[in-house]
Amino acid sequence: MRSHRLLEILLKLQASRKLSARTLARDLEVSERTIYRDVEALCAAGVPLYAERGASGGIVLAEGYRKALTQFDDAELRALFISAEQTLADLGLGDARRSAFTKLSGALSAADRGAVDRARNRVHLDQRRWHQEPAAPVHLLALRHAVWEDRRILLRYRDRARSESERTVDPLALVSKAGVWYLVARAGDEFRTFRVERVSAVELRERFERPADFDLERYWRESLARWADAAPGCWATLRVSAHDLDAIGAYWSLEIAERNESAGTVVVRVGFPSLDAAAFQVIAWGNNAEILDPAELRATVVARARDALVRYQR
């Protein structure tokens, strides 16, 4: 595409300041005549290019314009080059990210490239949780296409109880939180959030008109606030080892009620969205957590343990 070639010419001239038409034509695999037409188009768009004649001449990008595009301070370079690589890879943009960074690095001075290397070797963002599968959810790329192209979709979705339903929605955005992808969509007159890994099928439909007043950052901020304000459906009082406190508090809100330094244990209150979620999590913690209250939670865990014994002793 011509627009891509024009950008390539500009980036190459940023990196080298002066290049011959023959060199540009060879690198971009076009004729010199095409390069001259592209240079004329860039000049018409306001890019200050000029030709230097002679044996050492070539096409030159004015120095002031070059500096204006590539003069970053250390903080700006860190912000540009420190990114969550896996998140972009999930969206199928990992190669594009690396290519973009290579192009941008080529336009920087040697000193700035050194600053970039220092930043990338000092901070790495990995949004995935421990033991989380490295592969992206199966239907994430299809959802990305629907979001990007404003295509209505027929969505087949499993809720927490694994009950499956179909619904037609307008996909507006994708959000990655702690390595988990969510789809923000308009369903009728409501905005809804769907967990992408629970999507079992996606079928593209006609285009839709995106709401002009939709603001993704505001929507997500307000959604998080509503979630934080919602009272847990089940508070469990647990006795846990002091060594396991960080792991137990990693994903659940907790309050420390009592410490027993000599025994090395802590009594905590943990908020869960439901009794079912509390039982599932406490069973997963095994011997690391002892239920003190409520009695209903203890009974639920005991009943599930008995069911498991019956099933596996057959």
The tens digit of pLDDT for each residue in 209-249 reads: 999 899 999 999 998 888 766 666 788 999 988 888 877 77
Question: Do the Cβ atoms of 92 and 144 come closer than 8 Å?
Answer: yes
Give the predicted TM-score (pTM) of the model: 0.57
pLDDT score, position 84: 65
Tell me which of 61 and 296 has the higher pLDDT: 296
Residue 101 DSSP symbol: H
Task: Place 150 in a pLDDT band, splitting at 50, 70 and 90.
Answer: very high
Task: Place 66 in a pLDDT band, splitting at 50, 70 and 90.
Answer: low
Helices marked H in the chain: 2-16, 21-28, 32-44, 63-70, 74-81, 85-90, 94-106, 110-120, 140-149, 216-229, 245-248, 275-285, 295-313
Proportion of the chain above pLDDT 90, given as a percent: 28
Residue 54 DSSP symbol: S
Domains of the chain: 2-69 (1.10.10.10), 72-120 (no CATH), 156-229 (no CATH), 234-313 (3.30.70)
pLDDT score, position 67: 57
Residue 186 DSSP symbol: E
Structure tokens of 167? 């619904």
Q: Chain-wide mean pLDDT for the chain?
A: 83
Q: How far is CA 155 from CA 123, 196, 305, in A?
A: 38, 10, 36
Question: Do the Cβ atoms of 147 and 58 come closer than 8 Å?
Answer: no
User: How does pLDDT run across 91-108, given as a tens digit for each residue?
Assistant: 777 777 777 777 777 767
